[in-house]
Structure 1
Amino acid sequence: MVDSPERTLLATPVAGDHRRWQRLINELNPDELTETFLTRVALIPGYDPSPVPLGELRRTGRLTFRALLDELASDEEPGAIAIAHEIGVSRARSGVAIDALVTAIRQDFTVLWESLTRIARASDAELIVRHTGNVLSTVEAFATQTQSAYVAERQRMRDAEASVRRGLIATVFQDPAPSTEQLTRIAADLGLPFTAPLAVAAATGEDIPALRVLIAEFDRAGDAVFTHHLGDALIMFRRDTRLPGTRTEHLAQDLFSLRVGVGQADGVGELRAAALTARDLSRLLAAGETGAMTWRRGWARLAAGHLLSSGNSILADVRGALDACGPAERVRLEEAARSYLATGSVAESAAELFCHRNTLSNRLRRFAELTGVDPTIPAEAARLVVGWA
C-alpha cells in the first residue's frame, strides 16, 4: 500500500518539532532507563544468570542510553556510536550468545519508547509518532554497530584459538619428539584424553581438496577435527568414537571412500608415527585406484617400497627361475601361486582357475621346485606377497 501525503507527513519530523522533542529527550534520565533495562535483561535466556557482572551491565547500560539520547536530541541521521564497539567486543569475550545480545539491544527501543510515551502529554501524540522512525533507526544503528564489533571479535578469537591449536599440533610433530609430559599437556589443551584412540587420515596432491571437504562436513556436524601439514601431505585426525546412526558415524565411513591413507593412533603419544604411516600409505595409491589405502590393503606395497629403497630386489631370483620356463608354463605357475596367496585354499584357487585340485597342487609344487619359494609355507609366501604387491 502506498502511503498518502498526509500519512507520510505525520510520520516525519517537522521544523516546529525540534524544541519540544529536545525537552522530552532531556527529561529522560539515563540512570532510570538503565535500571529499567536491567530488570528486562535479567529475563532474557543467556543473561539468566548473566555472564557479564551486574556492575558492568549497569555501566555500559548507562553509557548506551546517554549515547542514544544524544543521537536522538540531534535530530540527525545516527552516526558512529562509540560504546557500541566496546559492548560488542566485551560481550563476545564474555561468551554471550549473539541471539541473546541482539534481544538485549532490542530492549533499548522498548525502554526508550515506553519512557517517552509516559512523560509525553496528550498534545505530544503526533510529535511522538513523527519521531518513531528516529528512535527506531537510532537503536538499529546501535544494534548493527554492536553486532559488527561482536562478530569481528568472535572471528579474531577463533583465529587466535586456531593459531594456538596449530602451534600445539606442530609441537607433536617436531624434532626432537616432545616428552610424555609435554604430550599430556598438549592433549589436555586440545580437549583429548591422552590415551584416547585417534582416527588418522592423510592425503597428498590432487586428493587433498576432497579431504578438506570432508573435514568441513565433520566441522558442521560438531565433531572436533584437527589438521596438520606434514610435508606434502594434509593430515587429519579426530577422536575415534563410535556413534551408530549419527551424522558423524556416516562421515567416518565416507572417509574410506576417499583416496587417502588411513590409520589409528592409541593416543596423542602415537599420533606422529600413525600420521607418517598414513602419509606413506596415501602415496601408494596408483592412478585410477579408488578408496582408502588401509594398512591391510597397503602393508605389502609399503614393505616392498622400503626393501627396494634399501637395495633389495625381493624377487629377482624368482623372476630369473621363471624365465627358464616356456611362456605358457610361466603364466600357469604364476597365476596358480598368485591365486593361492589370495585365497589360501587349494579348492578355491582350483575353482577360480577352472582346473582340478590335483592340477593346482602340482603347479604349486612345480613353482616351489623352480624358484625355491613355496607359496604354501607362510614364511616363504610372505616374500611373494611383498614382491608382487
Structure 2
Amino acid sequence: MSVARAQRLALLDRFPAAEVAAESAAWLVRRAPAYADRDEDSLRRELLAVIGPALTALRAGTELSASEIGRCEEFGALRAAQGIALEPLLEAFRATTRRAFDALYATVRGEGGATGPAGPADAVVALELTSAFWACCDTVSLAVVRGHRAHEAERVRADQEHRTLLLRQLLHGELSADWVPTAATVLGLDLRAEYRVCYAVPAPGRDVAELERALRPHLVAHLTEPGARRLVGLAADPPRDTAGLPVGVGPPRPPSRLHESLAAARRGSELAVAFGLARSVSGDELPLHSAVLGRPETGAVLAARCFGHTEGARRTTLMTTLDAYLAADGNAEEAAAALFVHPNTLRYRLRSFTAATGLDPSRTEDLVTVWWALRHAEATGGPT
C-alpha cells in the first residue's frame, strides 16, 4: 500500500461519521420546521445510511457504485414519502454537508497538515481527499434529488389516476351516495353547485390537444386519459368560445346526477361532429338532426330516391345546389348568388331534379325529404 493511500485511509478512519449524523439530526429537529416533528434518533440513523456509502467510496478511491447511488435515491424517495419538500431536503443536505466538511477539515488539521509527523505528502493527500469529498457530495445530492423527484412524479401520477377514476365513476353514476361527497372534495367540486358535462371528439384532421387547449380554461375538472380520442370535463357555465371546435354540452346537474348531463353531452358531440357544427351543441338542441342520426336506414332510402340517378361530379353539383336552395329558404336568386351561378342555371338544375325524381323542393313534404337526404349524406361523409 502506498504512503498516500495509507494516509488517506488513516484520515477517513478518524472521520467522526456518527458524530456528524447526530449533530446534523439535532440541528434539523431544532432549526428546520420541516423536521420539527421527526424523531431525532431515527433521523440520525437515516443520515448515517447516506454518509456510509459516501465514506465507502472515498476509502476505495472510486466513484459511488450503482447500488450505493440507488441507496441515496431511496433516501430521497423516503423524504418525499415523509412529506418533506425538495427545498427543505436540500437545506438539510447542505447543513449535513457543512458539518461533514468541518469534521473532515478538523481531522486533517489534527494530523498536523503538511508539517505533521506524516511528512510533506499530507498536504497533497488532504487536497485530494477534499476534492474527492466534494465530488462525492455532488453525486450524492444528485441521486437524492433524483429519488425525491421520481417519488413525487409517481405520487402526482397516482393522485391524477385517483382523480381520473373518481371523476369517471362520478360521470357514469357508479358511486354510492356515501362516496359522492368524498369524490367532490377530491375533485374540488361544490356539492351544492351544478355542473355541465362537456364532451368533445375531434373532427377529422383535428387533434385532442386542440380540444384541451380550447376547453381547459372553461373546465373545473376533466378526465386525463392518455391515448383517448375524446375530452370529457365539467364546466360551471357553458363554454362560449370553443375555438371553432365541435363540443357537446349537457344540462346543469349536481355531482350526484352528472351521468344525466354526460348522456346529453355525448349526444350533442355526435351531432356537432356529424353535421360539421364548429361550436358547442346541446343534446336536445337539434331534434331533427338527432332523428337523422337515429334512423340511418330511412336516410339511406331517401338519399337513394333523391340522388340515386346521378353519380360523381353531377351528384355533388346536385347536392350542393339543393343544399344552397334550402339554406336560402327557397329563394332562387339568393341561392344562385351563394353558388356564383346565374339564377336561371339554378332553376334549370331544380327542374331537372324534379323531372328525374318527381320531387319538387317547393312542396313542403318533398322539401323535408330532400333535407333529410342531404343531412344523411352529410352525417355519413357524403358531399353537401
Counterpart residue number, 1:123: 112
Choose from 343, 363, 368 the match for 2:328.
343
Equivalent residues in 2 for 1:223-238, closer than 5 Å: 225-227=222-224, 234-238=229-233
Measured after TM superposition, the shift of residue 109 of structure 1 is 1.9
Counterpart residue number, 1:8: none
- Say if 1:36 and 1:385 are closer, same or farther in 2 by CA, change over 3 A: same
Cα distance in 2, alignment partners of residues 161 and 345 from structure 1: 58
Measured after TM superposition, the shift of residue 273 of structure 1 is 1.1
Cα distance in 1, alignment partners of residues 336 and 55 from structure 2: 93
- Say if 1:17 and 1:122 are closer, same or farther in 2 by CA, change over 3 A: closer
Equivalent residues in 2 for 1:76-95, closer than 5 Å: 76=60, 77=62, 78-79=64-65, 80=68, 84-85=72-73, 87-95=75-83
Choose from 267, 273, 280 the match for 2:270.
280
Counterpart residue number, 1:189: 186
- Say if 1:14 and 1:122 are closer, same or farther in 2 by CA, change over 3 A: closer
Equivalent residues in 2 for 1:1-389, closer than 5 Å: 14-25=5-16, 28-36=19-27, 42=32, 49-50=33-34, 52-56=35-39, 59-65=42-48, 67-68=50-51, 71-72=54-55, 75-76=59-60, 77=62, 78-79=64-65, 80=68, 84-85=72-73, 87-118=75-106, 120-121=109-110, 123-124=112-113, 126=123, 127-172=125-170, 185-193=182-190, 195-203=194-202, 210-211=207-208, 215=212, 225-227=222-224, 234-240=229-235, 253=243, 256=245, 261-265=246-250, 266=252, 269=258, 270-274=260-264, 276-277=266-267, 280-281=270-271, 284=274, 292=278, 295=281, 302-309=290-297, 311=298, 315=302, 319=306, 338-344=323-329, 346=331, 348-349=334-335, 351-352=337-338, 354-355=342-343, 371=359, 374=362, 384-389=370-375
Measured after TM superposition, the shift of residue 202 of structure 1 is 1.8
- Say if 1:207 and 1:158 are closer, same or farther in 2 by CA, change over 3 A: farther
Secondary structure of the 2:201 match is strand
Measured after TM superposition, the shift of residue 64 of structure 1 is 0.8
Measured after TM superposition, the shift of residue 85 of structure 1 is 4.9
- Say if 1:70 and 1:226 are closer, same or farther in 2 by CA, change over 3 A: closer
Unaligned 5+ segments in structure 1 are 1-11, 43-48
Measured after TM superposition, the shift of residue 201 of structure 1 is 1.1
Is 1:303–1:386's contact at 8 Å kept on the other side of the alignment? Answer: no
- Say if 1:292 and 1:36 are closer, same or farther in 2 by CA, change over 3 A: same
- Say if 1:122 and 1:38 are closer, same or farther in 2 by CA, change over 3 A: farther
Aligned length: 330
Cα distance in 2, alignment partners of residues 93 and 195 from structure 1: 36
- Say if 1:159 and 1:271 are closer, same or farther in 2 by CA, change over 3 A: farther
Is 1:226–1:237's contact at 8 Å kept on the other side of the alignment? Answer: yes
Cα distance in 2, alignment partners of residues 214 and 203 from structure 1: 7
TM-score normalised per structure 2 = 0.61
Measured after TM superposition, the shift of residue 55 of structure 1 is 1.9
Is 1:373–1:381's contact at 8 Å kept on the other side of the alignment? Answer: yes
Measured after TM superposition, the shift of residue 280 of structure 1 is 3.1
TM-score normalised per structure 1 = 0.61
RMSD, aligned α-carbons:
5.2
Cα distance in 1, alignment partners of residues 194 and 96 from structure 2: 51
Measured after TM superposition, the shift of residue 99 of structure 1 is 4.8
Cα distance in 1, alignment partners of residues 293 and 74 from structure 2: 60
Secondary structure of the 2:274 match is coil
Give the partner amino acid of 2:291.
A
Measured after TM superposition, the shift of residue 172 of structure 1 is 4.4
Secondary structure of the 1:54 match is coil
Measured after TM superposition, the shift of residue 236 of structure 1 is 0.9
Cα distance in 1, alignment partners of residues 229 and 265 from structure 2: 10
Cα distance in 2, alignment partners of residues 349 and 223 from structure 1: 44
Residue deviations 1:54-73 (CA, integer Å, cap 9, x gap): 32477325531465167437
Give the partner amino acid of 2:201.
A
Counterpart residue number, 1:46: none
Residue deviations 1:264-319 (CA, integer Å, cap 9, x gap): 2335614531453266347737xxx8x958649x956553231234x466747984
Cα distance in 1, alignment partners of residues 233 and 40 from structure 2: 40
